[in-house]
Amino acid sequence: MAPIDRSFSRRRFLGGSAMAITASALGTPFVRTARAQAATFKAGVITSLSGENILGGNLTKQGYDLWADAINAKGGVEVAGDRFKVEMFYGDDQSSPATGADAAERLIVQNGVDVLFGPYTSGSTIAVQPICQKYQVPMISGSAESPNVWKAKPEFNFGIIPAVDTTSGLSLGVLAKLSKPAAKTVAVISVNEPFSKETGEGFRDGAKAAGLEVVTYELVPPEGDLTPVISKIAALNPDVIAVGGHEEVLLNVVKTSKSLNYRPKALIMHYGITNPAFAQALGADADGTTGVVVWLPTVSYKDDVFGTAKDFAQMAQKKLGGEPDYTAAACAASGLVLGDALKRLGKKPALTPENRVALKDAIAETDIQTFYGPIKFEKDGPHYHDNIQPVPVLVQIQGGKTVAVGPKEAAAADYIYPLPAWK
Amino acid sequence: MDLFLQTLLNGLLIGGVIATFTIAFQLAFGVLHVIDFAVGGWVVLGGYLGYYITAWLGLDGFIAIPLAFVLFGTLGYLIGPVLYNVRNSRTARPELMALALSFGLFTLLRGGMLTAWGFNTRNVTTTLSGESLAIGPITVPLIRVVAAAFAAAIAGGLFLFLYRTRYGLAIRATAENRHNAALMGVNIGRLSANVYGLYAGITAMAGVLMGAIYSVNPEVGLRYTLFAFFVAVLAGLGSVEGALVAALLLGVIEAFVSTYVGASYSLLAIFTTLFLVLLVSPRGILRRGL
C-alpha cells in the first residue's frame, strides 16, 4: 500500500496559513486608514453582554446605541461647523469586573476609542476607572448607582444617574411633602449586602434631612426571616417603612407585614417595584407600595436630539419593542453629554491624547438640559463627578400599574396616603 | 411583654418552618450517609410547582403539595440509585464523591431553573396567604401555623412509619448497619432509592409552603441547603426527632436576637450555638446523631 504523503499536505497547509496571516496583517493598516479617512468619533461601550447581568447589560447598550443612531441620523456630532458620525465599539465584561477592565483596555489600545461609555454594574465601573486614568480616556457612565464609584474620586469618569444614597434620601423628602397628615416617623430595613445597604443608609440619612425621625434602623442578613423585624417595627408603629433591598426582600417584606396584619401608612422601596414581576407576584397586595425612579417617560424635560421624554420613549419603543426604563434613558443621555462636550471642545476626530484630556475637562464643565433632566457634575465632595441634579420621581403601584405620584410637576396621579389596612 | 410573647411565637413558627425541609434531610442522611446539597434544589422545585399551579391553572397553592410529593418523589426515586451506587462504590473516599455528586445535582437544578424560569422572584398564593389570627395582643400568621403543623405531622408520621412498620424496621436496620441489614435480606439498593424518593417528595412538599411563606427564585435554594445543614449538625446528623428540637431552638434564637439585639447578629448567634453544641455534645443536641 502506498504511504500517504503527509508532509506535502502539511506543508501546503502551513504555507497557506502563513500567507493568510501575512495578508491579514498587511491588510489591517489599510482597514484602519480607511476608517481614519472617514473621520468618525470612536466610542467604546463596556457592559455585560453575557453572564448573569446580560439583561441589564443589554439595557445599557441599547441606551447608548439609541443616542448613536439619533445623532448619526442628524449627520453626526457638530464640531466647528462640520458634522462627524460616531462609530460604536463594544467590549463585554462577561458580568465580571476584572474582565471589564480587560475589555476597556482592549477598546482603548486596539480600537483606539476616543471615549468610553460605562458598564451596567457599579462593580465593573469601579474596576474600569483605573484603566481610564491610566490611558487618560474619559468615560461617561449611564448606569452606575453605587456611591462607592464616586467616593473613589475618579478623575476621568462621570455618572449620569445620581448615586443611590442621594436618590433614596431625597425621596423621603418628597414623600414627607406629599403625605397628609404629614409623616413624622420612619423605620428603615436594610439588607446587609452592598447596593441594598447603601440604599438603606441613604434612607436613614435622608430621613433626618426630610425632618423625619428614624425610630429604628434594621440591618438584616439576606438569609434572615423578617417576622421578628416586622414585629419589632409594628410595636414601634412608625408612619413609614423604607426598605433597601432587591425584589425578593421587597416581596417578603410585603408578605410578612400582611401575615402579621400590620401595615404602615407608607411603604417605600428604592429598587425593584418598577419590575413588572413585583406587582405580578403580589397581585393586589402590591398596591400602594411606593418606589423611587430618577426618570419616567412622563417627565417634562426635553432637548434638541431626542425631543421630549415622551418622544424618546416612543423612539425607544419603536426600536426596542418595550418602554425604556431610567437606565436606558440615562445611557442615551450620556451620549448627549458627549455630543455637547465635543461641540464645546471644537476638536475634530481622531482625538489626540491631549485632546482626550481636554475632552475630560470639557465634560466636567457640562451644564445642560436633556430629555432625561438637568446634567451637571459635582466638582468635589463624596459624589465627585456624579450628576446629582435629577430630583427622584416617586412612583406608586396603583391598580397593578406603576404611576408617578410626586413631586407635583411629575405626578400623574394622587399619592395614596395613608395606606388602608390589609383586607 | 406583648413583644416578648410575639417574639416567642415568631421563633417557634420560624422553627416549624425550618423543620419542614430538614426532617426528611435527616432521614436521607441516616440511610444513605450522604449530606445532600441538593436539598435546597428540591425545596425550590416544590416552590415553582406551587407557583405554576396557581399562576397557570388558577388553583390554590395547597393543591400543589400532594402533586409535589408524587412528582418529585418519583424523580428522587430515579436519582436515588445513582447516589447510592456512588456512595457505595469502591473508589477512594466514596463519601466525598457522593457529596460532590449531590453538589453537582444542586448546581444542575439551580442552573436548569435559571435557564427555564429566569431570575424573577415568584409567589405561591394559597387561601391562607396573608391571613392571621389575633389572640389578645399576639398576631398568629396562619400559613406559618400550617407549616409548623405540617412539620409536626411529617415528624409524627415518619416516627410511626419507622417504629411501627416492618419496612421502618428495615430502614432503621439499614441506617444502623448496612451490611447486617443486607444479610438479613433487606434489599439495600431499593430501600435507598425509596428513602431518597421519600425525602425528595417531602422536601418538595415543604418547598410549596416555603413559596407561600416567603417567595421563590432559583437563587434561594442555597439558603435552604445551609439551614438544613445547620439544623442537621445541631440535631446530630441523622437524628429525625433531633431535627424538630434543633429547628425550634434555632428559630427561637433567631427571633430573640433579631428583635432584642439586632437582625444582623442573628446568624452570628446561630453559628455560636452550633459551635458550642458541637463542643459540648458532638452527636447533637439530643445526643442521638451518627
Residue whose grid cell is 444479610? B183
Interchain proximity A219–B11, CB inside 8 Å: no
Query: Is the Cβ of A274 closer than 8 Å to some Cβ of chain B?
Result: no
Per-residue pLDDT of chain B (290 residues; tens, 9 = 90+): 789 999 999 999 999 988 988 988 988 888 888 889 999 999 999 999 999 999 999 999 999 999 999 999 999 999 999 998 898 888 888 889 999 999 999 999 998 998 888 778 899 999 998 899 999 889 999 999 999 999 999 989 988 998 999 999 999 898 888 889 999 999 998 999 999 999 999 999 999 999 999 999 888 898 899 999 889 889 888 788 888 899 999 999 999 999 999 999 998 999 999 999 889 988 888 776 66
Please, are residues A298 and A410 in contact by the beta-carbon 8 Å criterion?
Answer: yes
**CA end-to-end distance (rounded Å), chain A:** 90
* Closest residue in A to B221 (Cα–Cα): A223
Identity at B214, one-letter amino acid code: Y
Please report the residues numbered 276 through 295 in chain A whose beta carbons come closer than 8 angstroms to any beta carbon of chain B: 277-278, 281-283, 285
| Structural domains of chain A, ranges and CATH numbers in brackets | 38-162+297-376 (3.40.50.2300), 165-293+392-410 (3.40.50.2300)
What is the β-pairing status of strands A86-92 and A41-47? parallel
CA A377 to chain centroid: 15
Question: From CA B231, how far away is CA B225, in angstroms rounded?
Answer: 10
Inter-chain Cβ pairs, chain A and chain B, closer than 8 A: 113
Question: From CA B38, how far away is CA B97, in angstroms rounded?
Answer: 14
Interchain proximity B17–A231, CB inside 8 Å: no
Integer Rg of chain A from CA: 25
Question: From CA B20, how far away is CA B212, in angstroms rounded?
Answer: 13
Å between A234 CA and nearest CA of chain B = 9
- HSE (CB half, 13 Å, CA atoms) of A361? 8
Name the pLDDT band for A330 (thresholds 50, 70, 90): very high
Å between A219 CA and nearest CA of chain B = 5
CA A127 to chain centroid: 16
Interchain proximity A260–B3, CB inside 8 Å: no
Interchain proximity A224–B215, CB inside 8 Å: no
Q: Which of B119, B129, B263 sits opposite A224 (nearest CB)?
A: B263
Interchain proximity A251–B123, CB inside 8 Å: yes
**3-class SS of residue B119:** coil
Name the pLDDT band for A16 (thresholds 50, 70, 90): low
The model carries a pTM of 0.81
Interchain proximity A223–B6, CB inside 8 Å: no
Interchain proximity B254–A225, CB inside 8 Å: yes
Å between A258 CA and nearest CA of chain B = 5
Question: From CA A394, how far away is CA A200, in angstroms rounded?
Answer: 16
Interchain proximity B130–A277, CB inside 8 Å: no
Residues of B in contact with A237 (CB under 8 A): none
